[in-house]
Amino acid sequence: MRPRPGKRKAPWAGILLLCGLAFAQQPTFRVNVQLVRVLATVKDAQGRLVGTLEKNDFKILDNGAPQQIALFERHTEQPLLVSLLIDNSGSTAKDLKYELDSVNRFLRAFFAEGNPKDALALYSFNYEVRQLTRFTRSQSTLERALRGLKSEAGTSLYDAIWLSSEELEKHEGRKVIVVVTDGGDTTSTKDFHAALKAAHLADAVIYSILVVPITNDAGRNIGGEHALATFGERTGGRVFAPSLGAGVDKAFSDILKELRTQYLLGYYPKNVPLTSDPFHKLEIRATGDLRVSARNGYYGETESSAGR
């Protein structure tokens, strides 16, 4: 007599179920083919730039798991894309001309050296954010856009970072946001966390030039200063707090030096422990008593996405 249909399939179903349970009990790891790129600036204990390290001098941890460096470039020649964000809120009216003079000197220095594919995009922000130019190497185009700036009320700093990051995410290369401002945010529709996430998704480093900070605590925007410092710490940049004129010029000069002395590191995430948080924590270390400035993480896979 022939067996009834399905009779011999039952044992296999049980084996498959047991296999599924066994796999479910394993810790969640992932091998991701997506290359993660990290720009890093290294300084010694005296704050001097260090540009002579080799690949073996670095160590990368992704969610605590050591990673193998697959890409290493010292003084990388990858194109540099800079989004320059100018605060032209009402509070800048008195000093805007002096700030723009320094910006023009920065533009000349930026295009005088480096990769011929380097480019810069210009934004202004007050109660609204305006993209004044797309990425360009035309210094005359940028200077012409700067001449048309006028101060108006409001400071949409977070919106400016968010919008410029959205644009940077479409491009390849080293991506940097430079913010020139005199205070914190007052009129953005996006908040601090949305702006920071957008910068991380774009792999952008944020430098801020906080012009003429008020020394009296009663008149300073401490919250705004803290936000700018946090943007720098978490993306691998930093904050400058110069006075007008020569101080702003030096801040721009120091930013250029750091950008010209960056290391480009890359790795393919392997055996990274995953959690429900899509933000992967990165730690970049250098040999000896050296301090590394680099972004503190990136948005990647979670436990649920790895199981799809």
The Cα–Cα gap between 19 and 24 comes to: 9
Neighbouring residues of 222: CB distance < 8 A, sequence distance ≥ 6? none
The Cα–Cα gap between 223 and 245 comes to: 25
Looking at residue 7, what DSSP letter applies?
G
Q: What is the pLDDT of residue 16?
A: 40
The Cα–Cα gap between 76 and 40 comes to: 11
pTM over 0.75: yes
Show pLDDT as tens, one digit a residue, over the chain (308 residues).
444 444 444 444 443 444 444 444 444 444 455 899 999 999 999 999 999 999 999 999 999 999 999 999 987 778 999 999 999 998 888 888 888 999 999 999 999 877 889 999 999 999 999 999 999 999 999 999 999 899 999 999 999 999 999 999 999 999 999 999 988 899 999 999 999 999 999 999 999 999 865 555 545 667 788 999 999 999 999 999 887 778 899 999 999 999 999 999 999 999 999 889 999 999 999 999 999 999 999 998 887 666 55
Query: What are the start-end ranges of the E strands in the chain?
Result: 36-43, 58-62, 65-67, 69-74, 80-87, 119-125, 129-136, 174-181, 204-210, 239-240, 263-267, 279-286, 291-293, 297-299
Q: What is the pLDDT of residue 301?
A: 82
In the block, residue with structure tokens 């320059």: 84
Q: What is the pLDDT of residue 128?
A: 96
Q: What is the pLDDT of residue 105?
A: 93
Q: What is the pLDDT of residue 212?
A: 65
Q: Where are the alpha helices (DSSP H) in 35-131?
A: 96-112
Is 217 exposed, middle or buried, given 0-12, 13-18 or 19+ CB atoms closer than 10 A? exposed
Q: What is the pLDDT of residue 48?
A: 95
The Cα–Cα gap between 254 and 248 comes to: 10
